[in-house]
A = this chain, B = another copy of it.
């Protein structure tokens, strides 16, 4: 097929996405206008509609991409066989992933309620699939007597909350290096689920 005539879309398309991510993350979906996005790209409003059917489409794309990348990156992650090792891998991965993508992570966390019901359903499914990966680790470790967890479901939510919280304050080049932040979070998670030192 090759490139079509007069095509800029492979340049402008990503820039539209990037502008949407930055502005949605900073001001929130509802507070950002299509005109602001267009201005950030350096284009008129109408041009945006070559790259998205509507404003909602921008948000849906961002969320879908974020959650798919999250899940696929986790699947690609090298994982030990034992639940403790897996939990360490998960903890470190989750911290690292979110710290390096604060914008899309923020959007995925905050803008769920701005999705239309059917879009919400789809995105929520992706989120739960990832959550399920953690829950399975905790479940297996609990059954194998490696963890001391009172309630696996609740522990899943708590661990996720603890790990996700890091994105709210971590800044690159801050007081602590990423490796240290990873390690400390893993230590806290390990303690919280009652796993002995590795």
Contact = CB atoms under 8 A, between A and B. Distances in A.
A21 to B, nearest CB: 15
A171 interface: no
A9 interface: no
In the complex, the count of this chain's copies comes to 2
A101 interface: no
A194 interface: yes
A94 to B, nearest CB: 12
Contact of A150 (B161, B162, B164, B184): B184
Contacts of A30: 27-28, 30-31
A155 B154 CA distance: 20
A184 B169 CA distance: 26
B168 A154 contact: no
A185 interface: yes
A35 to B, nearest CB: 15
The size bracket of the interface on A is 35 or more
Given A27-B113, A164-B161, A188 B184 contact: no
Nearest to A195: B191
A63 to B, nearest CB: 16
Nearest to A188: B192
Interface string A165-198: 1101100000110000101110111011110000
A161 B162 CA distance: 5
A69 to B, nearest CB: 22
A82 interface: no
A188 B192 CA distance: 5
Nearest to A148: B191
A122 interface: no
7 contacts: A28-B113, A28-B114, A158-B166, A164-B165, A191-B192, A191-B193, A192-B192
